[in-house]
Amino acid sequence: MADDKPLPFAAHTQALMDSIRRAGFPPISQQPVEMARKAYAAGVGAMAHPPVPLPRVEPFTIPGPAGDIPARLWASTHDKDLPVFLYLHGGGFVVGGIDTCAAMCSQVAHQSGAAVVAIDYRLAPEHKYPAGLEDCMAALRWLVEHGHTKHLDASRLAVGGDSAGGTLAAILAVLARDADIPLKLQALFYPSVQVGVRTESFMTYGRATFLNAELMKWFENHAQGGHLSERWHREPLHAPDHRDVAPAWIGLAQCDPLTDDGYLYADKLRAAGVPVELQVWPGVIHDFINMGRFLPEAAQAHTALAEALKKAFAA
The active-site residue, picked from 29, 76, 106, 163, is 163
**Cβ burial, residue 272 (10 Å; 0-12/13-18/19+):** middle
256 is a catalytic site residue: yes
The active-site residue, picked from 76, 233, 242, 256, is 256
| Cis amide prior to 130 (ω within 30 degrees) | yes
127 is a catalytic site residue: no
Q: Answer yes or no: are the C-beta atoms of 215 and 257 closer than 8 Å.
A: no
229 is a catalytic site residue: no
Question: Which residue, 105, 101, 98, is CA-closest to 52?
Answer: 105
What phi, psi does 16 have (nearest 5°)? -65, -45
The active-site residue, picked from 222, 286, 287, 302, is 286
CA distance 18 to 248: 34
Residues serving a catalytic function are 163, 256, 286
